Chain A
Amino acid sequence: MTAGHPGEPGPPAPGHPGEGPPHPGHQGEPGTPRPGHPGEPGPPHAGHLVSARPEPGFPIRVDGRPVTAVPGQTIGAVLYANGIRSWRTTRAGRPRGLFCGIGVCFDCLVTVNGEASLRACRTEARPGDEVTTG
C-alpha cells in the first residue's frame, strides 16, 4: 500500500503559494469536498463539513508575500493553508513547524511584526501582520 497513485495530487511543494493541503470545503459549495488548487492562491477556509460561510478574509504577509486569513484563524493555520509547513530553524539547523497544535510543544514559534517566540498555533492573525520565517 503506497500513497501517490497516478492522477492524484502529490504532496504539496514546500512553501509554494496555493499548494497547501485540502481545505474542508469552499465558500458557496457546501458539501462538496475539493482538493487544493495548485498554482492558485489559497481558497477561503470555508469548511463544507460545518457548512461555513466565512467572512471575507484579510491579508497578512509572510516574508513579504501576501496570504489571506479568515478572522479568528491562527497564524499557524494560515501558514499551513498556504502550503507553508516549516518556518523555524533550530540551533542545530533542523526545520520545524506545527507539532502539538495546542500550545504545549513550543515548536511552532514564529516572529510576527518583529516580536519573536510567539506560538503560531495560539496566535490569532490580525490584519496587516508581518510574519517572518527562518
Chain B
Amino acid sequence: MRHHDGPPADLAVVGAGPAGMAAAVEAARAGLAVVLVDSGARLGGQYYRHAPEGFHARRPGALHHGFRRFTRMAAALDASGAEVRLGRRVWAVEKVTGPGEDDLVAVHCLAGERDERRETVLARRLLIATGAHDRPLPFPGWDLPGVFTAGGAQALLKGDLVVAGRTVVVAGTGPFLLPVAAGLAAAGARVAGVFEANGRFGLAPAVLAHPGKLVEAAGYARRLAAHRVPYLGRHAVVAAHGGDELTHVTVARLGRDWTPGARRTIECDALAVGYGFVPQIELATQLGCATRGGGDGPAVVVDEGMRTSVPGVYAAGEPTGVGGAELAEVEGGIAGRALAADLGRDAGRAPGSARRRAALTAFAAAMTRAYPVRDGWQGWLLDDTLICRCEEVPYARIKEARALGATDARSLKLLARPGMGWCQGRMCGYAVARLAGEDPAPPRRPIAQPVRLGDLAGEPGPPDFAGPPEPAGRPDFAAGEDPR
C-alpha cells in the first residue's frame, strides 16, 4: 500500500479524456514530469470510451465521431513520457506543504476496482479534467431496470459492445441524443423514436452558422432516416412502465414551457434519456476554486491559460462549462502549454488555439441556450415518483418538506434527505435545486467519491501532510453530499 513515492511530479492530471490527454501530452513534451490518473480501465474518458483489448476490434472507431483524434493523442501520450495510472478513483485533493518547497497538491486515490488500496500522487500543479456526467430528470418509473441515462446506453455500447435493448426509445434534450440513437440503430436495435423536448437539432441558428457541426448533424439525420427512426421535437417521455423491468413508456407532446399535453404509449425494453450534462467539479470546490452559474454550470472559472482562482490549480474541458470533446481537447492543449510556461519551460506556441476555444465556447453557449431545461417537467411528477433514487425519496416527501418551510435546496435536503445517498446527489441534484426554485449550487463533497471506510482506515496518512477530512455517514460507506 503506497501513499506516494519518489519526488513530487510537476503536474498531476485528473481525467484521461480529451482534455486530460491533450494537456498531459503538451506538458510532458515540454519536459514536465506528468502523472495522469483516471478512474477508467482505458484511456479516452466518456467520449472516446471503447471496447477492451479482448475484442480485437479492427475498426475500433466505427462507433465514434473523430476516433482518429483519440488514437493520435494516445500515441502522442505514449511517446511523451507522461506516466499514466488508470483504475484510480480520486476521492480528495488538498494543498500540502512540501519539504522546503512551495505548496504541493496531494491527489488521494483509491487504486484497483475490487480490493481498493490507497495511493496519493503529490505534484506541484494540478489539472482538473474530470469531464461531466448525464443530467437526468425524474419522472414516474425512471428507476425501472431498462431505463438508462443517454450516456449510460452509449457507454454500454461503446465500452462493452452490448446494446441496451431490442426496442429502444431515446428522449431528453440536446444534440447528444442523435449520436446515441444513431449508434443504437446501427448496432441492431429498433429505435422507436427520438423525442427532443426542445426544437429539433439542425434547425438551431448556431448550427447553421457552424459548418462542421452542420455536417455532423446532417450525418446523424441521414443515418436515422435510413433506419426509419422518427425524430420529434417538443415531445418527452413523461413516464416509464413495467413490473420488474421496463415494458413501455408514455410520450407526451409538450407545451412551450414543457407542460405535458396529449399522451400516447410506446412499447420498448430500453429507454435512453438525458437532459444535458453536469460538469464534475467537486475536486475544484474542495480546493476552493471560484465557480460560476449559468445553464451549463455550475462550472469552474478559468482565465485564458485555464488557471482557476486557486494558484497552481488548472481546469480544462467540461469542468469549465459543458462544451464537448473538441473544445475539451483545445482547452487541454492550452492548459498543458500554460502549465509548462508557468513552470519555466518552453511549450512552444499553438497559434489559433485561443481563437478556436472562443469559437467553440460560443457554439456551446448557443447550444445551451437552444436546449434549456424548462420547469414544466415538474408537471410529470406524481406523489410516489422518486426524486432521489438512492434514498428513495418520493415527490410527496419533497412537497411535505416545502410545506414545513423548506424553501431552499439545503433545507429540503436536511428535511427530506434527497441527495444524501451513494450517488452524492449527482443524479437528483439538479431536480432538487429546481424543485426548491433555485439554480443548482456548486457541489460540497469533502469526499468526492463514496469510499468504503475500511479503505480509509487502512493506514494513517504520511507525516508530511494533514490527513483527509474524517468521513461520516453510513456505517460502511462515506458518501453523502454535505448538506451545510
Measuring CB to CB, which residues of chain A are less than 8 angstroms from any residue of chain B?
1-4, 8-12, 14, 20-25, 33-36, 45-47, 49-55, 70-74, 76-77, 80-81, 85-86, 90-92, 94-107, 109, 112, 115, 117-118, 121-124
Which one of A1, A72, A121 lies within 8 Å of B53 (CB-CB)?
A: A72
Chain B nearest CB from A30 CB (Å) reads 8
Interface secondary structure of B, over-half rule: loop
Interface size bucket, B side? 35 or more
**A126 closest partner in B (C-beta):** B114
Interface string of B146-165 (1 = CB under 8 A from A): 11110111111101111111
Q: Is the CB of A47 within 8 A of B161?
A: yes
CB neighbours of B236 from chain A (8 A): none
CA gap between A76 and B164 in the complex, in Å: 11
* Given A11-B267, A21-B270, A100-B148, 10 more pairs with CB closer than 8 A: A22-B163, A24-B186, A45-B55, A45-B160, A53-B58, A55-B56, A73-B160, A99-B147, A104-B426, A121-B156
On B, residues with C-beta under 8 Å from A are 39, 41, 46, 51-63, 113-114, 133-134, 143-149, 151-157, 159-167, 186-190, 192-193, 230, 244-248, 264-270, 389-390, 392, 421-423, 426-427, 450, 452, 476-477
Contacts A/B (CB < 8 Å), 6 sampled: A11-B269, A50-B51, A74-B159, A90-B392, A101-B152, A103-B39
**A86 CA to B245 CA, complexed, in Å:** 7
Q: Is the CB of B161 within 8 A of A45?
A: yes
Inter-chain contacts of A109 with B (CB < 8 A): 422
Chain B residues with CB below 8 A from A121, complex form? 152, 155-156
With A and B bound together, what is the CA distance between A104 and B163 in angstroms?
A: 20
What are the residues of chain A within 8 A of B143 when measuring CB–CB? Answer: 94, 96, 99, 107
Complex contacts, A20 vs chain B, CB 8 Å: 162
Q: Measured between C-beta atoms, what is the minimum distance from B339 to chain A in Å?
A: 27
**B110 to chain A: closest CB distance in Å?**
12
Nearest residue in B to A106 (C-beta to C-beta)? B422
Query: Across the interface, do B189 and A22 meet the contact criterion of CB distance under 8 Å?
Result: yes
For the complex, what is the distance from the CA of A20 to the CA of B164, rounded to whole Å? 9
A96 CB contact (under 8 Å) in B145, B193, B421: B145
Residues of B within 8 A of A52 (CB): 51, 55-58, 161
Contact status of A21 and B53, CB under 8 A, knowing A50-B59, A50-B60, A77-B156: no
Shortest C-beta distance, A58 to chain B (Å), equals 10
* Inter-chain contact A23/B162, CB cutoff 8 Å: yes
The answer on a CB contact under 8 Å between B149 and A101 is yes
In-complex Cβ contact of A98 among B113, B145, B188 (8 A): B145
Select one of B187, B247, B389, B452 contacting A105, CB under 8 A: B389
